[in-house]
């Protein structure tokens, strides 16, 4: 979940109600899974340190990853402009905001469509049922 990188967020485990902080040290980004149709997805999750309950918080597919790449490239370009004190045109700002919204909505739709689905870990072969946690 790229938006969480570099931050510490207080969460509560849905299972044991333990409250704890998540950040780069205890969240797993972009773990590969396949759905029942063989489609590749990336999941971001954290585990409760108390009861070990896994909380899935983000999902990406080919489309959302492409949108994220566009956002990353555009962010780099806009950062260079800012560092040179060049004013960013409103059209560029609007396009950047639109891409961020597209990514957010794509991920939300994926969460809705995959919630309750069975997926397979591509490394271990373990099958799990997805249940998403909103943070």
- Condensed to tens digits (0 to 9), the pLDDT of residues 108-132 reads 999 999 999 999 999 999 999 999 9
| Model confidence band, residue 73 (pLDDT cutoffs 50, 70, 90) | very high
Angle at 101 between CA 92 and CA 20, to 5 degrees: 125
- Position 111 scores a pLDDT of 96
- Determine, yes or no, domain membership for 42: yes
Task: Judge whether residue 30 has pLDDT over 80.
Answer: yes
Task: Judge whether residue 8 has pLDDT over 90.
Answer: no
Pick the closest to residue 62 from 34, 23, 84, 86 (CA basis). Answer: 34
Task: Judge whether residue 107 has pLDDT over 70.
Answer: yes
- Determine, yes or no, domain membership for 135: no
Which residues make Cβ contacts (< 8 Å) with residue 34, sequence separation at least 6? 40, 41, 119, 120, 122
- Determine, yes or no, domain membership for 134: no
Task: Judge whether residue 106 has pLDDT over 90.
Answer: yes
How many domains does the chain fold into? Answer: 1
- Position 24 scores a pLDDT of 83
- Determine, yes or no, domain membership for 24: yes
Q: How far is CA 117 from CA 23, 79, 127, in A?
A: 26, 39, 10
- Determine, yes or no, domain membership for 83: yes
- Count how many Cα atoms sit within 13 Å of the Cα of residue 36 in the half-sphere of its side chain: 8
| Model confidence band, residue 96 (pLDDT cutoffs 50, 70, 90) | very high
- Determine, yes or no, domain membership for 94: yes
Strand stretches in 13-108, DSSP E: 19-22, 27-35, 40-47, 54-60
What average pLDDT does this structure show over 30-59? 94
Which residue range forms the structural domain that includes residue 40? 2-129
Cα 18 to Cα 92: distance, rounded to the nearest angstrom: 43
């Amino acid at each position: 979940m790229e938006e969480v990188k570099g931050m510490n967020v207080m969460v509560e485990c849905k299972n044991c109600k333990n409250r704890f902080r998540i950040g780069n040290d205890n969240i797993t980004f972009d773990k590969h899974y396949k759905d029942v149709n063989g489609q590749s997805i990336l999941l971001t999750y954290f585990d409760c340190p108390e009861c070990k309950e896994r909380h899935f918080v983000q999902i990406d597919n080919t489309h959302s990853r492409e949108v994220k790449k566009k956002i990353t490239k555009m962010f780099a370009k806009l950062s260079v402009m800012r560092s040179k004190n060049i004013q960013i045109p409103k059209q560029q700002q609007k396009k950047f905001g639109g891409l961020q919204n597209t990514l957010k909505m794509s991920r939300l739709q994926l969460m809705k469509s995959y919630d309750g689905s069975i997926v397979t870990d591509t490394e271990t072969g373990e099958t799990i049922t997805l249940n998403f946690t909103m943070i």
